[in-house]
Amino acid sequence: PDYPAGQGGYVYINPPMAVTFDGITDGSGHTVVDINRWQRLQIVNAVDQNGFPQGPIQNYLGVQWLGVKPYQLARIDSTLPWIDPGPPPFFGTATHAQFVKEVVAVIRASSQLDPDDGATIDISPAVYGNNSLDFSTGEFPDVYDGTGYKANPATGAPYAPNVVKRGDYARVLSEFWADGPSSETPPGHWNVIANTVADSPLLSKQIGGKGPVVDDLEWDVKTYFAVNAATHEAACACWGIKRYYDAWRPMSAIRYLGGLGQSSNPALPAYNAKGLPLINNLIELVTDASSAFGERHEGLTPGTIAIYCWPGETPQRVAPNGVHWLPATTWTTYQRTNFVVPAFPGYISGHSTFSRSAAEVLTAITGSEFFPGGLGVFSFPQDTALRNEKGPTATVELRYATYFDAADGAGLSRIYGGIHPPIDNLGGRRVGAMTGKGVWEAAHKYFDGSISQSPVNMALKKVGSNKGELRFNTLRAMYYRLQSAPGVAGPFTDLPGGPIQALDSSIATTNSLDGFERYFRAIRTLTP
**More confident: 227 or 316:** 227
**Residue 499 CB partners (closer than 8 Å, separation 6+):** 479, 480, 481, 525, 528
pLDDT above 60: residue 495: yes
Q: How far apart are the first and last CA of the chain?
A: 31
Rounded to 5°, the CA angle 54-58-59 comes to 100
- The SS3 of residue 186 is helix
For the chain, the farthest-separated pair of C-alpha atoms sits apart, in whole angstroms, at: 94
SS3 string, 421-455, reads CHHHHHHHHHHHHHHHHHHHHHHHHHHHCHHHHCC
Axis-axis angle for helices 403-416, 185-199 (nearest 10) = 150
pLDDT surpassing 90 at residue 413: yes
Higher-pLDDT residue of 462 and 431 is 431
Q: Measure CA 451 to chain center.
A: 30
Distance CA 329, CA 323 (A): 16
pTM above 0.85, yes or no: yes
**Mean pLDDT in residue range 107-116:** 98
Instruction: State residue 4's pLDDT score.
Output: 73
pLDDT digits (tens, 9 = 90+) for 214-239: 999 999 999 999 999 999 999 999 99
Which of 46-60, 306-320, 349-363 shows the lowest per-residue confidence on average (mean pLDDT)? 46-60
pLDDT digits (tens, 9 = 90+) for 512-526: 766 667 888 999 998
If pLDDT is split at 50, 70 and 90, which confidence band does 469 have?
confident
When computed from its CA atoms, the radius of gyration of the chain, rounded to whole angstroms, is 26
Q: What share of the chain is helix, strand, coil (3-state, %, to 5)?
A: 30, 15, 55
State the pLDDT confidence band at 383, using cuts at 50, 70 and 90: very high
- Computed over every residue of the chain, the mean pLDDT equals 95
- pLDDT surpasses 60 at 21: yes
What is the reported pLDDT for 1?
55
Indicate the SS3 state at residue 170: helix
List, in order, residues 6 or more apart from 67 with CB less than 8 Å away: 78
Select from 18, 130, 193, 140 the least CA-distant residue to 420.
140
Residue 2 confidence (pLDDT): 65
The share of the chain scoring above pLDDT 70, in percent, equals 98
Q: Is the pLDDT of residue 527 over 60?
A: yes
Q: What is the mean predicted confidence (pLDDT) over 70-99?
A: 95
pLDDT for 505 beyond 90: no
pLDDT on residue 48: 78
List pLDDT tens digits, range 434-453.
999 999 999 999 999 898 88
- Tell me phi and psi for residue 208, to 5 degrees: 75, 10
Q: Is a pLDDT exceeding 80 seen at residue 71?
A: yes
Q: What is the pLDDT of residue 468?
A: 84
Query: How confident is the model over 18-37, as a mean pLDDT?
Result: 96
The secondary structure of 267-311 as a DSSP string is TSTTB-TTSBPPBTTTEEE--TTTTSTTSTTTTSPTTSEEEEE--
Whether the bond into 348 is cis, omega within 30 of 0:
yes
- The pLDDT value given to residue 509: 86
Q: What are phi and psi of 198, to 5 degrees?
A: -65, -35
β-strand pairing of 120-122 with 41-42: unpaired
Compute the distance between CA of residue 364 and CA of residue 436 in angstroms, rounded to an integer. 9
What's the confidence (pLDDT) of residue 396?
99
**Coil/strand/helix, residue 176:** helix
Give me the pLDDT at residue 7, please: 66
Q: Using CA atoms, how far apart are residues 296 and 301, in angstroms rounded to an integer?
A: 12
pLDDT band for position 182 (50/70/90)? confident
Residue 482: per-residue pLDDT: 92
Share of the chain above pLDDT 90, in %: 81
Q: Which helix (H) or strand (E) holds 122?
A: strand 120-122
Run of H or E including 470: strand 467-473
Q: What is the mean pLDDT of residues 53-78?
A: 90
**Per-residue pLDDT reduced to its tens digit, 118-173:** 999 999 999 999 999 988 888 898 899 999 999 999 999 999 999 999 999 999 99
Q: Which of the two residues, 189 and 465, has the higher pLDDT score? A: 189
Residue 25 pLDDT level (bands cut at 50, 70, 90): very high
pLDDT at 198 (0 to 100): 98
> Strand, helix or coil at 41?
strand
- Confidence check: pLDDT of 500 > 70: yes
